Amino acid sequence: MKSYKDLLIWQKGIQIVILTYKIAKQFPSEEMYALTSQVKRAAVSIPSNIAEGYGRNGDKSLNHFLSISRGSLYELETQLLIAKELDFITDISSFERINFLIEEESKMINAFSAKLQG
């Protein structure tokens, strides 16, 4: 593996960011500095922490950043559920798609983390 960009968990994280930004466009404008900002930051944190952990050149450090990434993933999932309950998300297929990606990413992070721990 030459780069963090080769990691499937990083690639899926990028997909989650892109879809999150598309979904967040549906949110009311008064949420721009509240939930909209939070969902975007949580989403961006997922692949960012994977990249940072990879850049630290050590399994222990990478595992630590995978843990942070997993936390951001669950934070995003929670925020999207709140947004849906508040009827900020009207495109149900995008909501279902991102939940599927979140579930996949969670499993992949858990498996990769377990592999690093030996």
Compute the mean pLDDT over every residue in the chain, rounded to the nearest whole number.
95
Contacts of 57 (CB under 8 A, 6+ apart): none
pLDDT of residue 118: 76
CA 9 – CA 104 distance, rounded (Å): 9
pLDDT of residue 35: 95
Contacts of 32 (CB under 8 A, 6+ apart): none
71-106: pLDDT as tens digits: 999 999 999 999 999 999 999 999 999 999 999 999
Confidence of residue 117 (pLDDT cuts 50, 70, 90): confident
pLDDT of residue 101: 98
What are the extents of the domains in the chain? 58-118
Contacts of 113 (CB under 8 A, 6+ apart): 63, 66, 67, 70
Q: Which helix (H) or strand (E) holds 105?
A: helix 92-117
Q: Burial level of 19, CB count in 10 A (0-12/13-18/19+)?
A: middle
Stated pTM of the model:
0.95
2-45: pLDDT as tens digits: 899 999 999 999 999 999 999 999 999 999 889 999 999 999 99
Output 40 or 1, whichever has higher pLDDT: 40
